[in-house]
Chain A
Amino acid sequence: MSTSIKALPAGLKDVEKGSSLWTDAYVRLKKNKLAMLGGIIVISILITCFVIAPILSWIGFDGNEQNLANKFAGPSARNLLGTDQLGRDLLMRVLQGGQISLLVAIMATMLTVTIGVIYGGIAGYVGGRIGNAMMRIVDGLLAMPFLIIVILFREVISGQVDEIARFLIDDWGWSDNDVLRFANLIPLTFAIAGFGWLSMGRIVRSSAASLAQQEFVEAARSLGLSHRRILFRHILPNMLGPIIIYATLTIPSFILYEATLSYIGLGIEPPNSSWGKLIQEGANYLETNITVLAVPAVLFSLTLFAFNFLGDGLRDALDPKASKD
């Protein structure tokens, strides 16, 4: 591994330590202004949606409170970005929609990474005929039309989720409003992940397959370590780079999937809302009041930009060789 002189702060005693892949990567990332800007925007959006918005709603701002006398109002102290077609506060609606969009995307990404790493890791490490057969299944599913597979998964899963939700409400006495709102997100999350893990599996398989050929894995094998140990302690840590890069780039594409599905009415259902749903509602009032479309659309596009720039920057930083496209 190359050591970067720039990675070292002044003071020679640090030289002995050398610099790890991660310090190297961090230095490279810090030089990439677009990626850093993306990172800052990502963090700000996350904080706004998940910290500031709950505080605002706790002190009395509500995105679901209708006020038909006050629809399409301009910005005011009470409604910083004005109100929508039902007199609801636009800012709170966009932030609460963002919570759902981001929550679904992040949960689906975590699922994708888990399934993709296990499946792809096994396929790559085992290799041979079994590994090939595992990848042919992935190729076959990738050839399915995206909408059909996602809707299929969603329908199949939502039946199960409804039963669990009803059980939680009836037998455990959980608040039915909260449970139902959350239950609405689960089928969509699983459906998106059910399609998304396929590409993750492919990427993990190819890097696991090349790692499995390396000397250190051979050494581990000749030491008699178990397959599971080799896979999780030796191969997995070496794949962290591509996994992190791909996960960062997966989040925006999942935000987009969720928005697309919600836009065409197959995603989030009321009282939940998401950016896709807000954009779809806003498009109906394009001529009356463009802010209802513009606010969620701008925030949505900005989020996609930020995540993509951050992901591209991470790829350049962690894997300089692969950064050509």
Chain B
Amino acid sequence: MLRIIFSRLLQTLVVVFLLVTFTFFAIRMMPGNPFADVKALTEENKAAMERLYGLDKPLHIQYANYWKNVLLEGDFGDSFSMKGRKVSTLISESFPISLKLGLLSLFLAMSLGIPLGIIAALFHNKWQDYTAMIIAMAGICIVTFVLGPIFQLSFAKPLSWLNVAGWSRPSDVILPAITLCFGVAAYLARLTRGGMLDILSQDYIRSAKAKGVSQLNIITKHALRPALVPAVTFLGPAFAAIITGSFVVESIFLIPGMGQYFVLGIQNQDYTLVLGLVLFYGILMGIANLMSDLALIFMDPKLRNS
């Protein structure tokens, strides 16, 4: 167990290092420069800005400095585009908001998608199966930016306790979370169905049936845990993506979450912001994958030895 955790963490560190390195050099290949949009910027001022942020130094020195600041001082640098704000402040302010939204919608997605998948598998090739799979397909095809406005119009408008958009009341998390959950729920339903069908055709399930174990016990005690393996494998990366990448939903419902910075950062060529986000995202992804690995080990004893 410890060995798995250790090797996962090591792997995460390598991935994060490579991601940041790739991003560091790739972002400088973008045409233009970080201060191109600033109006009335004389050559002198521009040079001064570049000196201030250390952009006048050779690239490899800048690269070394970045790691030095991050590792030795825990400093992710100042944002280029949002003057006077540190990247770490931007992330620490917006992350809790995205986390709250992401966790709620993930919870909704699981409580919707997994039962749907189980029902579909139990009634394989019957009308329940087809209905469940058409619902799941609807979740994939009716996307957030179509659903969001529909929800705003049909729920937020008539109900006084729901805001159309904004992030001031506790109830403001509800509509965005519901909007965000359907896509994930749909994938979960499909994966759960696949896993369940796979397990239900195994010999040990047939043996259990032959011994007269009830249908309910077969599902809950014997089939469910291994059947959820594909869904849980998907949940790891989905967790990281839903928490950071919900930019569209954030912009529909005007939520001050993290997603906006991914787009703003790269549009404004805000090197430090983008690098900070990639670093944070990589670590989050590593943690999410570790959690889904640990859950898998708990669920499938065969994985304990490998």
Contact = CB atoms under 8 A, between A and B. Distances in A.
Q: Do A and B come from one complex?
A: yes
Interface of A: 34, 139-141, 143-148, 151-152, 155-156, 158-159, 252, 256, 259-260, 263-264, 266, 276, 279-280, 283, 286-287, 290, 293, 297, 300-301, 304-305, 308-309, 324-325
Given A143-B19, A305-B137, A151 B263 contact: yes
Contacts of B95: none
A155 B30 contact: yes
A146 B246 CA distance: 11
B102 interface: no
A290 B154 CA distance: 12
A325 B190 contact: yes
Interface of B: 15, 18-19, 22-23, 26-27, 29-31, 130, 137-138, 140-143, 145-146, 148-149, 152-153, 190-191, 193-195, 197-198, 230, 241, 244-245, 247-248, 251-252, 262-263, 265-267, 274, 277-278, 281-282, 285
A293 B149 contact: yes
Contacts of B245: 145-147
A305 B262 contact: no
Nearest to A309: B137
A276 B146 CA distance: 10
A179 B245 CA distance: 34
A304 B198 contact: no
6 pairs of A and B residues whose beta carbons are closest in the complex: A325-B194, A304-B141, A159-B31, A324-B194, A283-B149, A297-B146
Interface of B is mostly: helix
A266 B193 contact: no
Contact of B140 (A304, A324, A325): A304
Given A145-B241, A264-B251, A301-B142, 13 more contacts: A143-B285, A148-B265, A156-B30, A259-B143, A260-B145, A266-B263, A283-B145, A283-B148, A283-B252, A286-B153, A301-B141, A301-B143, A305-B141
Contacts of B130: 34
A264 B262 CA distance: 12
Nearest to B259: A147
Contacts of B142: 301
A146 B247 CA distance: 11
Given A297-B146, A325-B190, A147 B141 contact: no
A152 B27 contact: yes
Contacts of A280: 145
Contacts of A264: 247-248, 251, 263
B146 A301 contact: yes
Nearest to B286: A143
Give the interface centre of B140, B141, B148, B241 by most chain A CB atoms within 10 Å: B141
A280 B146 CA distance: 9
B145 A147 contact: no
A145 B281 contact: yes
A259 B26 CA distance: 25
B230 A325 contact: yes
A287 B130 CA distance: 35
B277 A155 contact: no
A141 B148 CA distance: 30
B102 to A, nearest CB: 14
B244 A145 contact: yes
Contacts of B22: 140-141, 144
Contacts of B267: 151, 266
A143 B244 CA distance: 13
Nearest to A298: B146
A34 B129 CA distance: 13
Nearest to A280: B145
B262 to A, nearest CB: 5
7 contacts: A144-B19, A144-B23, A145-B245, A148-B265, A276-B145, A301-B141, A308-B141
Contacts of A266: 263, 267
A151 B266 CA distance: 7
Contacts of A279: 145-146
Contacts of B23: 144, 148, 152
Contact of B278 (A148, A256, A259): A148
A145 B30 contact: no
A103 B126 CA distance: 37
Contacts of A290: 153
A304 B194 CA distance: 21
Nearest to A300: B146
Contacts of B230: 325
A287 B153 contact: yes
Contacts of B149: 283, 286, 293
Nearest to A303: B141
B262 A148 contact: yes
A143 B285 CA distance: 8
A293 B278 CA distance: 34
